[in-house]
Amino acid sequence: MIKHHLKILAIPVLLFIFTGCKDKKSNTNTTADTEVTILVKKENFLSGGLVEPISIVSRELSDGSTADCYKIVVTSTPTDHEMGPWCPGNISDDASAGGIWLEGGKVYDVDGEFVKNLSTFYDDDTWMMYNSETGEITKTSSKQECEDAANPNVGEEYENFCVECLPSYIGDITHTYYIPITPKKAAKPYAFSNGPGGGPDDGHERPGAPPNGGPEGHGGPNGNSTMPSNRGLAFNGVIFNAPAPVDAILGAYTLAPFDDAGGHINLNEGYHYHAATGVSKKIEQSDNHAAMIGYAFDGYGIFGNTDAEGKAYTDLDDSRGHYDEIRGYHYHVDNAGNNNFIDGLRGEYAL
């Protein structure tokens, strides 16, 4: 009788245990070594940037396994902030008429004075991007000029042009991305290529896109040639792009400013970010930790550069990530002036 009584008691206990695990799995997962893994939350994405509702599909990952992934189809048009401006019209214009430029780890306002003093800024008298009599700044003014000036083989006729590609120049561009719902730690981290241009462009055209909706492959320490060079996705559906090829831009004596949100447009990719400036949607944290701003393509969260007190994180690994028990493994973006977000993926990504 005693044994029978114990069996009856054990049944509700087991039911409670299994129910508890199921409830937890909707938000977190715990690995064998007790590390907390935070699952991707599709509700974090703004519906205004989506072409269709986020769905779940099975995809092959970079290690050859398969996993449930969120299929996210976006317009690459932010709904939480305005795009532009980029190039001011006259050297008398203040900062409200232009965007920003990233140089040497610092963020500079592209106002009229900045454009006027480019020859001093870069210590090169070739820079002369305005009419000395009227003060009017020389900049692209049509879709064709935008396309020609953003070409890697830009002609001398576009020397000393401020390149400004407007939203009206692009049609209904959509991109499809796949992000693993449950991040899976890779055996080795995948490092991004930061060679000339750091990957696909920014205002300069690039070849056709491989899998995962646009990222261009550069490989990594795991030898996978499909390594995405785009870093991740902001909550508004705008891509965190690879570093802008600043050397190529400046080498042609052109300037391709970013707007105050760190983004600009090219005709192939549409609007995209090269720096996190705190303008797009962010999710504040209750413990003074940096706010969350999006997801990397391996499903780990991307957070701001500094905490609520303005202090940068000093314990980041080579991918610009670290671990805590609240957020699990996650990334912190680079300083905006460094034209960079994160340096690699610590997890497996969808192909």
The answer to whether the beta carbons of residues 319 and 346 sit under 8 Å apart is: yes
pLDDT given for residue 318 in this prediction:
97
pLDDT given for residue 31 in this prediction:
52
Residue 351: how many CB atoms within 10 A of its CB? 17
pLDDT given for residue 330 in this prediction:
98
Q: Which helix (H) or strand (E) holds 147?
A: helix 143-149
pLDDT given for residue 153 in this prediction:
80
pLDDT given for residue 33 in this prediction:
64
Report the alpha-carbon distance of residue 143 to residue 186 in Å, rounded.
43
pLDDT given for residue 255 in this prediction:
97
- Specify the pTM: 0.84
Radius of gyration (C-alpha) of the chain in whole angstroms: 23
pLDDT given for residue 216 in this prediction:
33
pLDDT given for residue 57 in this prediction:
98
pLDDT given for residue 194 in this prediction:
58
Report the alpha-carbon distance of residue 184 to residue 298 in Å, rounded.
7
pLDDT given for residue 346 in this prediction:
97
Residues 6+ apart with CB under 8 A from 55: 70, 71
Q: Say how many Å lie between the first and final Cα of the chain, rounded.
A: 58
Q: Torsion angle, CA of 102/106/110/114, rounded to 10 degrees?
A: -120
pLDDT given for residue 75 in this prediction:
94
Residue 105 backbone phi and psi in degrees, to 5: 80, 5
Domain ranges of the chain: 41-79+171-247+263-347, 95-165
At 134-172, the pLDDT tens digits run 999 999 999 999 999 988 788 899 999 999 999 999 988
Report the alpha-carbon distance of residue 81 to residue 293 in Å, rounded.
14
What are the mean pLDDT values of the chain's consecutive 10-residue runs (351 residues total)?
40 34 49 82 97 98 97 96 98 98 97 98 98 98 94 87 96 95 97 55 30 35 59 98 94 96 94 97 97 98 97 97 98 97 97 94
Letter for the amino acid at 72?
Answer: I
The answer to whether the beta carbons of residues 147 and 170 sit under 8 Å apart is: no
Report the alpha-carbon distance of residue 68 to residue 350 in Å, rounded.
9
Length of the chain: 351
